[in-house]
Amino acid sequence: MPRFLWLIASLLLLSACTGLTAWRDDASRQPSESSAAATPTALSAEIISAADAEYLLLANIYARSSPSVVNIEVRSGDETRRGSGFVYDRGGRLVTNAHLVKAADAITVTLGNAFVLDADLVGLDSFSDLAVLKVNAADARLVPLRIGESASVIVGQRAIAIGNPFGLKASMTAGIVSGLGRTLPSAALIDAGAAAGFDNPSIIQIDAPIHPGNSGGPLLNSSGLVIGITTAMQSDSGQFQGIGFAVPADTMRRVIPDLLAAGRVDYAWMGISVMPEEGGYGTAALSEALDLPVARGVLLRGVNEGSPAHLAGLRGGDRLVDIRGKTVCAGGDLIVAINGYYFDDLDALITYLVQNSRPGDEVDLVVIRERQAIDVSLVLQNRPSRDRPTIDCNTGR
């Protein structure tokens, strides 16, 4: 080997031996304080407990409430539908959705303890999408849920749904109340022969996932009280898209006793016609353009012939005006209060009529006519089974 190559090889070997010795020296040392501090330690039990508190709450609500949730199977002709419900009382009465059990040939209920029973339909109401079933079971097998109040529900509070999505027994989802004051055309979707124009008001909107099979299950708050009953989801594809809906507990409080007593519900009717509030036709959206003295209440487009509103002398609009490219029937009475309750919009008025009044009740209205407040009393009638002619700008009567 040439001398210079031998010299280079010797230097490389010496370097390798030196590096090996240094590596051995490093390996024999204990980790430094700085390297040990980089390894995280477990969090304290207090922090872990605080982080898990919400999940412990949900687990507790599930453990207390899921025995009350039932699976419902409905056979109607060649069709089989599945959904949810819950125990209302120890008399064997169950609450669910009307759209689930309508036109049922046979109804089978599976209780939370897996006990299977046949059920009879006590009554249903298409307008609220509520129904009551009856099973014969020992008291010990029935665990009723407590019905809360929905008037105090606020956007942002916890919303917990328990049901049987896709037939999966007693599944829980949780989220928040994401909206209030929605309306659903429940009767039109359930019964093609139902009187038109009567929406299901004060619907609770939630972001807790609900899927086919959840319908009829309870919507609970953090105390485990029923604040609603899940009824529908917003979907263009058949899959949950972040919006679900529930009939409020206060509507249940009004409807269920009537279904138990008579198998049906009679609703109060005023006989007014208004512009649709969506799309910028509501009182708040029109107040400035029409120079209204207030930006709340219900602006009448017309009244139905022979209705309580007509008999009490309420007036619909008398002229058509163009506002931001929309044709509006203007000049009608503006109702701002009923029985001392001042409301913001049509949903609030309908909610009051549904939850707090009955046919035959006399109510006192505060009405603004030509910028002056007047008092008007009228006697509510039962909702008509068919449309009544409307007196408004289009009829000129």
Active site residues: 99, 129, 215
Distance CA 35, CA 382 (A): 80
60 with 174: CB under 8 angstroms?
A: no
380 with 311: CB under 8 angstroms?
A: no
Distance CA 100, CA 107 (A): 10
Distance CA 65, CA 86 (A): 9
Query: Comparing C-alpha atoms, which of 372, 348, 352 is closest to residue 363?
Result: 352
Distance CA 111, CA 87 (A): 9
**C-alpha pair distances (Å), 281 with each of 18, 334, 370, 393:** 87, 14, 20, 15
Distance CA 183, CA 201 (A): 5
Per the listing, tokens 């899927």 go with 211
**Burial (CB count within 10 angstroms: exposed 0-12, middle 13-18, buried 19+), residue 89:** middle
CA 252 to chain centre: 13
Residues 6+ apart with CB under 8 A from 166: 211, 212, 213
Distance CA 219, CA 163 (A): 9
Distance CA 381, CA 379 (A): 7
